[in-house]
């Protein structure tokens, strides 16, 4: 139960903080510093099914010389969850590793991205299933955080005066959908995650 509460607190903090930190940077600088921070829930299936809380934190730069404003960021990812083994037996599992991400952002605020990570997976009960170890993780996703913010401010018609409405939008609606392929010494799994953040 304590792990679930910690996960929920991280999601809520990430989600609320993103509402106040989304901006387009300096209008004069050719490159903006950017941060990609997200937290949510992931489900992957294959030889084994995994269900986990996953968080990402990456920082880098975004070019403003192109109308698609590509960015490159470096950071890491961490997960905490369970592997569902044969006969519905579960084993706690967690992973951590460095990650690199690149994206393009459209004028509407919609962001398409791809990421790659080297992750080390640890399984609590090694005799019950895969032993874990170092593996690879690749993802393709879409982030709507900036698009949601722009739509919210546009709908209220009062600029930044109706912050309560904007905050409600960010708290209730996830901003990121990601499709993932992950391989480690125990198995290859594919699936998706739904996250909050930017």
Report how far residue 98's alpha carbon sits from residue 93's, in angstroms, rounded to the nearest whole number. Answer: 18
Q: What pLDDT was estimated at residue 53?
A: 95
Q: How does pLDDT run across 67-92, given as a tens digit for each residue?
A: 788 899 999 999 999 888 776 778 88
Q: Which domains does the chain have, with CATH numbers?
A: 2-197 (2.40.160)
Closest CA to 119 of 154, 77, 181: 77
Q: By the 8 A CB rule, do 101 and 73 touch?
A: yes
Q: How does pLDDT run across 140-161, given as a tens digit for each residue?
A: 999 988 877 766 666 555 555 5
Q: Hey, which bits of 31-145 come out as E strands?
A: 31-46, 49-63, 71-84, 90-105, 111-123, 133-143
Report how far residue 185's alpha carbon sits from residue 91's, in angstroms, rounded to the nearest whole number. Answer: 16
Give the global pTM: 0.75
């Amino acid at each position: 139960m304590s792990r679930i509460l910690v996960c929920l607190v991280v999601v809520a903090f990430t989600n609320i903080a993103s509402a106040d930190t989304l901006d387009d940077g300096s209008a004069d600088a050719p490159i903006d510093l950017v941060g990609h921070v997200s937290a949510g829930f992931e489900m992957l299936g294959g030889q084994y099914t995994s269900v986990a809380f996953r968080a990402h934190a990456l920082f880098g730069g975004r070019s403003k010389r192109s109308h698609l404003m590509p960015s490159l960021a470096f950071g890491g990812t961490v997960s905490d969850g369970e592997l569902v083994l044969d006969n519905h037996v579960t084993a706690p599992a967690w992973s951590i590793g460095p990650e690199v991400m690149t994206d393009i952002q459209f004028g509407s605020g919609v962001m398409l991205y791809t990421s790659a990570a080297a992750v080390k997976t640890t399984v609590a009960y090694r005799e019950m299933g895969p032993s874990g170890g170092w593996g690879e993780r690749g993802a393709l996703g879409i982030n709507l955080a900036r698009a949601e913010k722009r739509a919210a401010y546009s709908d209220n018609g009062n600029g930044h005066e109706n912050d309560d409405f904007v905050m409600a939008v960010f708290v209730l609606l996830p901003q990121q959908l990601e499709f993932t392929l992950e391989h480690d010494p125990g198995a290859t799994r594919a699936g998706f995650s739904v996250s909050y953040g930017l």
